[in-house]
């Protein structure tokens, strides 16, 4: 069993949240979900997770703000960033995310196995 078993999935797309939660639960993780950065902080305070899996484009507080807040309030939490940003333009924030020191990045769409492998590698 992976010791980092509690996950928090943050995505503004309900279907994305749902499918990630379902597939990660099938893999044996305990999964909490949140629709934005603010909600994620509230959830984390109640039921802290070991790993934060977050999108970057989100309403209210964007992914960068969420990451920043987690860094300060929950320094032990590992962070995985997923994004659909393309390589064409400034809208690609994944490299930026890597720069600010998140643990891993994944570009949408990704195979769940890839996400699972990434999670394994965080131990």
Phi and psi, residue 84, nearest 5°: -95, 10
Alpha helices in the chain (DSSP H): 14-26, 37-46, 63-73, 94-99, 112-121
Q: Does 99 bind another protein (CB under 8 A)?
A: no
Contact with another protein (CB under 8 A) among 10, 53, 66, 82: 82
Please state the length of the chain.
123
Q: What does the DSSP 8-state code read for residue 57?
A: -
Q: Identify any residues that bridge with 30 across adjacent strands, giving them in sequence order.
A: 6
Q: Which is nearer to another protein, 12 or 103 (CB)?
A: 12
Contact with another protein (CB under 8 A) among 92, 96, 103, 122: 92
Least Cβ distance, residue 94 to another protein (angstroms): 11
Q: How many CB atoms lie under 10 A from the CB of residue 113?
A: 10
Q: Which is nearer to another protein, 56 or 79 (CB)?
A: 56
The residue ranges that bind another protein (CB under 8 A) are 12-13, 15-16, 18-20, 22-23, 25-26, 56-60, 62-63, 82, 84-86, 88-89, 91-92, 107-113
């Amino acid at each position: 069993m992976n010791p980092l078993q509690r996950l928090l999935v943050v995505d503004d797309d309900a279907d994305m949240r749902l499918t990630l939660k379902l597939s990660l639960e099938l893999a044996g993780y305990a999964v909490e979900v949140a629709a934005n950065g603010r909600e994620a902080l509230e959830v984390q305070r109640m039921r802290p997770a070991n790993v934060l899996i977050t999108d970057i484009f989100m309403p209210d507080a964007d992914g960068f703000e969420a990451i920043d807040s987690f860094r300060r309030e929950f320094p032990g939490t590992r962070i995985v960033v997923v994004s659909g940003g393309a390589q064409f333009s400034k809208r690609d924030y994944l490299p930026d995310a890597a720069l600010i020191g998140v643990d891993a990045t994944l570009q949408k769409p990704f195979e769940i196995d890839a996400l699972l492998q990434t999670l394994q590698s965080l131990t």
